Structure 1
Amino acid sequence: MIPLITHTPRLLLLAASRALLTAELHKPRYFPVLLGAALPTDWPPAGYDRAAMEFFLERLTAGGRTAAGWYNWYALRKPAGDAPRTLVGSGGFMGPPDAAGTAEIGYSVAAEWRGQGLATELVGGLVQQAAATGLVRRLVAHARADNPASQQVLRRNGFDVTGPGADGHLRFERAVEPAADAAPGAA
């Protein structure tokens, strides 16, 4: 079974469920209640739109239990002082790895939470999650050529530019070593 929660120093990454995505899409006032977190004023962030939410919901619905953890993840800022747990971003995988063990990730952080290293931490958590599955050998990500901040997030997480991608993006890749406690062939 793939872990559906990952911790980083400041973030709790929670795998999206059908219930969370359904609430986010169709009952937005219940979404923060189900999530157990406050929402930023500009939710959803750029790069995570309604079409992405619908795609993730469709894939989770079609894939059943085996799809859990292979799509969207919510990045929740852990409570600090008087500040409540807050949704700060979204990231995840575009699906399970292919036969060669390659999976693609994407990420986005709400504007009011940018510039604090949270995107770097979010991507680090996704790399950690990929390693924990024991199934991923290589991760691919894309960043706009005109977005040096996003490129830096990937570089800080061990990704290297491997060439141009589509639509003005650069393609980044990195190898993934299975976590010591990853179950071989876990699914």
Structure 2
Amino acid sequence: MIFGRKGKTESSPPVYRPRVIESERLRLVAADRTLVEADLAQNDALGALLGAAVPENWPPELYDREAMRYALNHLEDAGERGWSFWYLLVIADGRDELVGICGFKGRPDPLGSVEIGYSMLRQYRNQGYASEAVDRLIRWAFNHHHVVEVSAETFPHLKPSIRVMQKNGFIHTGPGSERGVVRYAVSRPDRR
């Protein structure tokens, strides 16, 4: 509270506090309207909100302006935060750096399955960041009692993507939802 004249109190402006998960080397920040609007504006606001440097080649492949607008439309409900994508920041001395995205393609379906995806900036690939982020988000998802499976889809020739899934316990379950795509999934530990 801020005290104004004659003992009246005024409310302080709200402090921006996004949903955050931390791992050994990463800080994952759940997308919300404020962050996605800043991202779409393509200015310094995203970096300021995240407290991170945003590389010149942002955004990563597979995360384009269309995907951002799609996410923005699904972030109206505060309950959706976390079930969209998460910004991945490398925790560094001084200032963190934005390195990629990882997240879900919406809330779990009625059977308790949710699909995950990820995309890293080229200069941060093959350093284990995607695997670390997927691990943290799988744990986050399985903390929701109704989630029984996390799935992912990719093309068979994208070996680094498949390696991320395999490192996190995903097994090949067959063809994906689109032609030429394969599906992998990991079940909740108490359901295996």
TM over 0.5: yes
Write the deviation string for residues 117-153 of structure 1: whole angstroms up to 9, x where unpaired: 1111111111111122233110110122111011000
RMSD: 1.6
Q: Distance in 2 between matches of 1:8 and 1:97?
A: 23
> Alignment partner for residue 53 of structure 1, among 56, 68, 73?
68
CA distance in 1, matches of 2:19, 2:146: 15
Say which of 62, 80, 90 aligns to 1:67: 80
TM-score (normalizing by structure 2) = 0.84
For 1:155, the aligned partner's letter is Q
Amino acid at match of 2:75: L
Q: TM-score, normalised by structure 1?
A: 0.86
1:164 matched to which residue of 2?
A: 175
Deviations 1:48-72 (A, max 9, x none): 11111111110002xx121111101
- The equivalent residue for 1:129 is 140
Matches of 1:88 and 1:65, distance apart in 2: 25
Greater RCO (CA < 8 Å, at least 6 residues apart): 1
Structure 1: which 5+ residue stretches go unaligned?
179-187
- Deviations along 1:23-48, one digit per CA (max 9) or x if unpaired, are 10025221111111111232100111
Residue correspondences, number: 172
Shift of 1:100: 1.2
Report what 1:113 is aligned to. 124
Distance 2:167 2:155 in 1: 16
Q: What aligned pairs does 1:64-103 form with structure 2 within 5 A after superposition? A: 64-80=77-93, 84-103=95-114
What runs of 5+ residues in structure 2 fail to find an aligned partner? 1-17
